[in-house]
Amino acid sequence: METFILQFIVFFLLGGIQIGQAELQRHTFIVKEALYTRLCSSKNILTVNGTFPGPTLYANRGDTIIIDVINQGSENITLHWHGVKQPRNPWSDGPEYITQCPIQPGTNFSQTIKLSDEEGTLWWHAHSGWSRATVHGVIIIYPTNGIKYPFPKPQAEVPIIFAQWWKSDIQAVYKELIASGGQEIISDAFFINGQPGDLYPCSKNDTFTLTVDSGKTYLLRMVNSAMNFILFFSVANHQLTVVGTDGSYVKPFKSDYIAISPGQTIDLLLKADQTPNRYYMAAKAYNSVPLLHYDNSTATAILQYSKYSPADPSPPLPNLPNSNDTNASVSFTRNLRSLADENHPINVPLNVTTNLFFAVSVNTLPCENGKACAGINGSRLAASMNNNSFVLPPIDILQAYYKMIGGVYGDEFPHFPPFPFNYTAGDLPAKLLQANRATEVVVLEYGRTVEIVLQGTSLLSGIDHPFHLHGYSFYVVGSGFGNFDKDKDPSNYNLVDPPLVNTIAVAKSSWTAIRFKAENPGVWFMHCHFQRHTSWGMDMAFIVKDGNERKQKMLPPPPYMPKC
């Protein structure tokens, strides 16, 4: 702590200084409304610094970045640094009512982003209501000075961030979701770097264009910030080589398309090796629920060679997988493998001390006061983990834990489903749809090696759930369709080169097993990254207790934390 304060002071004096090789940076993020016109319709959106997508942060591995967040908007806000582990520093993690109270209009909060072993692409986003629809941006983390990428240096690097756009105000979409008890209204478009592309009505000029030189290779740093959909993305006539995900490298593999979950990042190489001309890049939703009405539109951007003639008046569109192609989504994700080489060793926990099994479901609750909500049969839609539909507490769990304030949360989140059933059976009885609303956490002793099996259920037909864990990256050691079999499935685990990620899509009616070592003390949120599922309660939190050594304890809170 003392050295940190010293570095802090030196930083102020010199305006940035090398500490070993890690640097301390400081930036201001002004949260404010800005008028945006898209699809011939204008609205005020919440932004950072008036831009959408928001500013990109650039850092080297191990850097510390201080962000002074100043809320000049008219809504509560919090910011989360997605995939940054924040060792011992949950205070700056950001999820509202989990690690902090909201930054209310007219107030500010300085957050410290402590990078450690992350390298590649991560991102930041609002973690308050549905504000992340427009409040988000990319974080690029280069290797330490002097260290090379584990692939040939690209000609240039291009952040590509996807978003989901409603013509209505996003707060109105959120309020309507809660008031109606049903699905959210269908969005109007998907965006690539803030633009829908020209396949929408009134979007002719709103297309992101990437200009490339023939024969050169480009590193695309992709982030899916869409609210509720895994996306398929492809570039006409070009093959993609995937080299990283979620701030770590993977064994390179070629694919004609990618499937990217909300919360996930994918780094890929694109070689401009086709006839110089213009080509479409395109993205659309993957949807595994047959009866769901959803935004089936296609966002496009243009890949344009610097020298071409004559211009193809109708550039080719890529072949994206069918929107219901579960195999395309799952097989892409299963191709991700850690590099696991001499320079990029892995450290998969082999001795599991804490086994957890979380059944994750969409549910129904009775509508209030005997009214009819917009969910199935007049119910209110909900979602749960082990039958607990998470309720945000009135003050943050971290504060309650640190100050030992009782009555804010319980520590009895079930380690196993309280009432096991055939999770993926086709004809589950309606009584299983009920869930229990509660604010419960799992408390872990420092240093536990944890395995979580996330088991999807087929309640309400089932759907994919991209799960995200704060404070950690985890190894995905196995996955499969149907019910997890604790006697058979572990023998097929990949303990050799499993991918190290912070977000993993648990496919419809399937299971996924993940492992991590609980050596980052604090309060850490875990939730589905489909925004409506989060809002419906598909969330829980871990409290990882301090260890005995000084370096195993949570840092003290910063001098000022937002108040509730």
Ligand X SMILES: *[C@@H]1O[C@H](CO)[C@@H](O)[C@H](O)[C@H]1NC(C)=O
* Residue ranges in contact with ligand X by CB under 6 A: 27-28, 30, 49, 55, 70, 76, 101-102, 104, 108, 202, 204-205, 293, 296, 322, 324, 327-328, 331, 351, 353, 376-377, 387, 418-419, 422, 425-426, 430, 432, 434-436, 560, 564
Q: What is the largest CA-CA distance in the chain?
A: 71
Q: Return the number of the residue (192 or 360) whose C-beta is nearest Cu ion.
A: 360
**Element (H or E) spanning 267, and its range?**
strand 265-271
What does 209 bind: Cu ion, ligand X, none (CB cut-off 5 to 8 Å by kind)? none
What gap in Å lies between CA 397 and CA 50, rounded to an integer? 31
Whichever of 351 and 491 has its CB closer to ligand X, that residue is: 351
Picked from ligand X, Cu ion, none, the partner binding residue 76 (CB below 5 to 8 A depending on kind) is ligand X
CA distance 160 to 192: 7
Q: Two tokens at 361?
A: 């479901």
Spatial separation of the C-alpha atoms in residues 16 and 210, rounded to whole Å: 33
Please choose which of Cu ion, ligand X, none residue 55 contacts, taking the beta carbon within 5 to 8 angstroms, the exact cut-off set by kind. ligand X
- Residue 434 touches which of ligand X, Cu ion, none (Cβ within 5-8 Å per kind): ligand X
- Shortest distance, CB of residue 373 to ligand X, whole angstroms? 13
d(CA 521, CA 292): 40
The entry of Cu ion, ligand X, none that residue 564 binds, CB within 5 to 8 Å by partner kind: ligand X
CB of 362 to Cu ion, least distance (A): 7
| 406 CB-side CA count, 13 A | 0
Least distance in Å: CB of 435 to ligand X? 5
> What are residue 89's phi and psi, to 5 degrees?
-130, 60
What is the smallest separation between the CB atom of 221 and ligand X, expressed in angstroms?
17
Q: Considering beta carbons, is residue 508 or 533 the nearer one to Cu ion?
A: 533
> Which of Cu ion, ligand X, none does residue 530 bind (CB under 5 to 8 Å by kind)?
Cu ion
**Residue of 292, 542, 530, 536 whose CA lies nearest to 433:** 536
Question: Please, which residue, 73 or 120, has the CB nearer to ligand X?
Answer: 73
Which one of ligand X, Cu ion, none interacts with residue 49, CB within 5 to 8 A by kind? ligand X
E strand segments, 147-224: 156-165, 189-192, 208-212, 217-224
Q: What contacts 407, CB < 8 A, 6 or more positions away? A: none
Partner that binds at residue 70, options ligand X, Cu ion, none, CB closer than 5 to 8 Å by kind: ligand X
> How many helices and strands in the chain, by DSSP H and E?
5, 33
Nearer to Cu ion, 129 or 197 (CB): 129
Q: Specify the residue for token string 């039958």.
A: 387
Nearer to ligand X among residue 202 and residue 443 (C-beta): 202
Q: Which does 528 bind (CB under 5 to 8 A by kind): ligand X, Cu ion, none?
A: Cu ion
Secondary structure letter of residue 318 according to DSSP: P
User: Which partner in Cu ion, ligand X, none is near 319 (CB below 5 to 8 A by kind)?
Assistant: none
Residue 533 near which of ligand X, Cu ion, none (CB within 5-8 Å, type-dependent): Cu ion
What are the tokens at 384?
Answer: 């749960």
Query: Which two three-digit tokens encode residue 230?
Result: 């895994």
Q: How far is the CB of 545 from ligand X (least distance, A)?
A: 14
Q: Which tokens is 69 given? A: 């967040």
As a whole number of angstroms, the distance between CA 45 and CA 171 comes to 10
Choose from Cu ion, ligand X, none: what does 465 bind? Cβ within 5-8 Å by kind: Cu ion
Closest alpha carbon to 185 in 207, 199, 170 = 170
Distance CA 289, CA 229 (A): 12
**Are residues 530 and 466 in contact, defined by beta-carbon separation less than 8 angstroms?**
yes
Q: How far is the CB of 346 from ligand X (least distance, A)?
A: 18
What are the residues whose beta carbons fall under 8 Å from the beta carbon of 273, sequence distance 6 or more?
214, 215, 238
Query: Structure tokens of 555?
Result: 């840092």
Closer of 55 and 557 to ligand X (Cβ) = 55
- Closest separation in Å from C-beta 538 to Cu ion: 5
Provide the minimum distance between the beta carbon of 344 and ligand X in the complex, in angstroms, as a whole number: 24
Q: How far is the CB of 386 from ligand X (least distance, A)?
A: 8
Q: Which is nearer to Cu ion, 61 or 533 (CB)?
A: 533
Q: Which is nearer to ligand X, 154 or 458 (CB)?
A: 458
Would you say 372 and 378 are in contact if contact means Cβ atoms under 8 Å apart? yes
Residue 376 Cβ vs ligand X, minimum distance, rounded to whole Å? 4
DSSP 8-state symbol, 395: S
Q: Which is nearer to ligand X, 154 or 456 (CB)?
A: 456
Report, in Å, the least distance between residue 378 CB and ligand X.
9
Whole-angstrom CA distances from 36 to 134, 151, 223 are 11, 39, 21
Provide the minimum distance between the beta carbon of 121 and Cu ion in the complex, in angstroms, as a whole number.
23
- Return d(Cα 245, Cα 247) in angstroms, integer: 6
Choose from ligand X, Cu ion, none: what does 322 bind? Cβ within 5-8 Å by kind: ligand X
- Assess contact for 482 and 510: CB atoms under 8 A: yes
The least CB distance from residue 166 to ligand X, in Å, is 15
Applying CB under 5 A, the residues found at the interface with Cu ion are: 465, 528, 530, 533
d(CA 201, CA 258): 26
CA 275 to chain centroid? 36
Burial-class residue 284 by CB neighbours within 10 Å (0-12, 13-18, 19+).
buried
